[in-house]
Amino acid sequence: MKILVYNRKNSEVWTSAVRNAFPDADVRHWVEGDCHDWLADYAVIWQPPAAFFQQQTQLKAVFNQGVGVDSLVSLESLPADLPVFKLRGVGMEEYMSDYVTYGLLHFYRDFDLYRQHQSDKQWQPHRIAQKSDWTVGILGLGVIGKAVAEAVSHLGFPVIGWSRSEKTVQGVNCVSGKEGLDHLLRESRVLVSLLPSTPSTHKLLNQETLTKLPEGGVLINGGRGDVIDIEALQVLLKSGHMRGAMLDVFEKEPLEDSHPFWNNSKVMITPHIAAPTPVAQALEQIVADIALIEQGEMPPAIDKSLGY
């Protein structure tokens, strides 16, 4: 078995992990311009250039090193009939649940206000609100979104979850479609976006949709940066319609030094760390999936037309 690995930033980590997971396989790291006569059976990759698929023409399947596959499906060189598999949780659910919980409690317990009070040397306790008044709306109910919705619900907050198609999550009011999205926006004190980057989600959270949030609403984004119209968010934060935001992802990363969000006390910025890929757990899933393929079975692949 031949396996090709590509990760521009963490090549040694991933190549070593794949070799350990497949000790009997011929595992190599792909470098553009090399391996012209070496065609792999499988690829374990993250954001490869178009030349990767132009060269590797005999792949049985591709395994993405993360959940987001937008950089893959946007490549014209990706063969239409080549199965692509994304990671299905593998521990990222817990990371993202922790991240969202932190952001939720930060605003619910008024820590954003207390931080400002500290800067002003002001001693001013605030009454703790009822959790029932802090409905949390979660956009995206995949493996990670479902786990986040359940975690938030277990904390005692009302949760509304929205997805493209109808889903059922215990303890969560699940909605779908345009009417469901409108309902979620109008009822949510805190909006959590865990949506993938697709043509249908691009700038979904814009001036029109974000204005539907109740005044004083909060946004937490751990999904994809291009889901949010960042200029519209900036306007709504300045007007006071939105109280604050916790943003882990941006359409262009890293966020440029000159962006006003760096100095905006209403915004918390994190460098795309909400739910990093646990490499060991990821390889366990990839090993199991390749074993199924070798046995003539097919694990659940992404739908390229949907982008996830």
Three-point CA angle 202, 205, 208, nearest 5°:
120
> Catalytic one among 224, 241, 243, 259?
224
241 is catalytic: no
Residue found under tokens 């690829």 = 43
CA distance 65 to 55: 20
Tell which phi-psi region holds residue 43, choosing left (phi > 0), alpha (psi between -120 and 50) or beta: beta
Residue 79 contacts residue 62 (beta carbons within 8 Å): no
DSSP state of 69: -
> Catalytic one among 19, 164, 202, 272?
272
C-alpha 106: how far from chain center: 20
Residue 224 contacts residue 248 (beta carbons within 8 Å): no
Question: Which residue, 165, 205, 204, 209, is CA-closest to 183?
Answer: 209
Residue 228 contacts residue 207 (beta carbons within 8 Å): no
Helix (H) or strand (E) holding 180: helix 177-187
Three-point CA angle 71, 77, 81, nearest 5°:
95
Helix (H) or strand (E) holding 177: helix 177-187
Cα end-to-end distance, the chain, whole Å: 27
272 is catalytic: yes
Instruction: Give the catalytic positions in this structure.
Output: 224, 272
